[in-house]
A and B are shown apart, each in its own frame.
Chain A
Amino acid sequence: MENVLKMEFSALAENEAFARAAAAAFVMPLDPTVEEVTEIKTAVSEAVSNCVIHGYGELCGDESFAKNEAPTIVMECALEKGNRLTITIEDKGVGIDDVDQAMEPLFTTGDEEERSGMGFTVMQSFMDRLKVRSSKGEGTTVIMTKYLDVPGEY
């Protein structure tokens, strides 16, 4: 069984809930456990929040942000080999200086009082595999893989 969902949405905080709900709805036909759905929703929420806060964060304070073509986030969910779920979340934002450093628990470039620096750690804990590709000024792509606990259809 192969199934793909691709969607593009404005990089707005209010779309975080929509993105994770869409990912959850996508896996529903496989009858996942409540725990699996929660883990997927949380990982998607972290990745999309990162795009909004960090990827496009600097642009949000900019007045031209609303006037110009609004930045978008692309999310792709793919289901292969029956139970392999791959979620790709991509932004065309500022990019990450040092990916290894960004992925360290508690590391944040944001306001240390309010940002936990745990986004990538949460994604890593809740998904089976996490890959982050980023280039300065061009954007960041997060690829997460999770093997769902369902009988595979071959």
Chain B
Amino acid sequence: MEVVFKVRGDILIACIKGELDHHNAAPLRKGIDRSMKVFECRDLILDLTEVDFMDSSGIGIALGRYKKLSKSGGRICIAGCSTYIEKVLDMAGVFSIIPKEADVQSALCLLGGEEQLHMEV
């Protein structure tokens, strides 16, 4: 597994590549949490476009980040789910609390769009 972090304003984009399982979950979690802190990001996009395999550890990662960000007033969005990954995340009802977008661009629009609206008010 490999993760590439990108920063857009105060949004951290974590592009996860390869297999996401219990073994990889702990370093991934630490990597995301540390990057959020280091880059002083508020919101998070989990880009799963290049994830080839994911078990319920992925649910734990998503829900764990959601809980953490809720406390700090940040938002999270999941981008680029394959049908199979969507099925796994859906089993735990992840999408009832975390929005999903087709790709990172749409996710950036979602997270950034709300902010623009906020500034107009």
A106-B92 in contact given A49-B21, A52-B22, A116-B60 (Cβ < 8 Å): yes
Interface 9-mer from B5-13, B49-57, B72-80, B96-104: B49-57
A119 to B25, CA, bound (A): 14
The 9 closest A-B pairs by CB, nearest first: A116-B59, A13-B23, A49-B22, A118-B56, A45-B55, A116-B60, A114-B64, A116-B56, A114-B60
A112 to B120, CA, bound (A): 38
Q: Taking the complex as formed, is B29 at the interface, i.e. its CB lies under 8 A from any CB of chain A?
A: yes
Q: Quick check: A125 and B91 within 8 Å, CB to CB?
A: yes
Q: Which chain A residues numbered 29 to 68 have a C-beta less than 8 Å away from chain B?
A: 35, 38, 41-42, 45-46, 49, 52-53
Q: Taking the complex as formed, is B88 at the interface, i.e. its CB lies under 8 A from any CB of chain A?
A: yes
Q: Taking the complex as formed, is B84 at the interface, i.e. its CB lies under 8 A from any CB of chain A?
A: yes
What is the total of A-B residue contacts with beta carbons within 8 Å? 64
Q: Quick check: B60 and A17 within 8 Å, CB to CB?
A: no
A118 to B68, CA, bound (A): 20
What residues make up the interface of A, taking CB atoms closer than 8 Å to B?
Answer: 13-14, 16-17, 20, 35, 38, 41-42, 45-46, 49, 52-53, 105-106, 113-116, 118-119, 121-122, 125
What residues make up the interface of B, taking CB atoms closer than 8 Å to A?
Answer: 19, 21-23, 25, 29, 53-57, 59-61, 63-64, 67-68, 84, 87-88, 91-92
Mostly helix, strand, loop or mixed at chain B's interface? helix
Q: Which residues of B contact A119 (CB under 8 A)?
A: 55-56
The minimal Cβ–Cβ distance linking A124 to chain B, given in whole angstroms, is 9
Closest to B68 in A: A113
Q: Which of A16, A35, A113, A114 contacts B21 (CB 8 A)?
A: A16
A4 to B58, CA, bound (A): 31
A46 to B59, CA, bound (A): 12
Q: Which residues of B contact A113 (CB under 8 A)?
A: 64, 67-68
Q: Quick check: A118 and B59 within 8 Å, CB to CB?
A: yes
A122-B55 in contact given A49-B22, A105-B92 (Cβ < 8 Å): yes
Q: Quick check: B23 and A115 within 8 Å, CB to CB?
A: no
Q: Which residues of B contact A17 (CB under 8 A)?
A: 19, 21, 23
Q: Which residues of B contact A106 (CB under 8 A)?
A: 92
Q: Which of B21, B23, B84, B92 contacts A118 (CB 8 A)?
A: B92
A127 to B68, CA, bound (A): 33
A14-B53 in contact given A106-B92, A116-B60 (Cβ < 8 Å): no
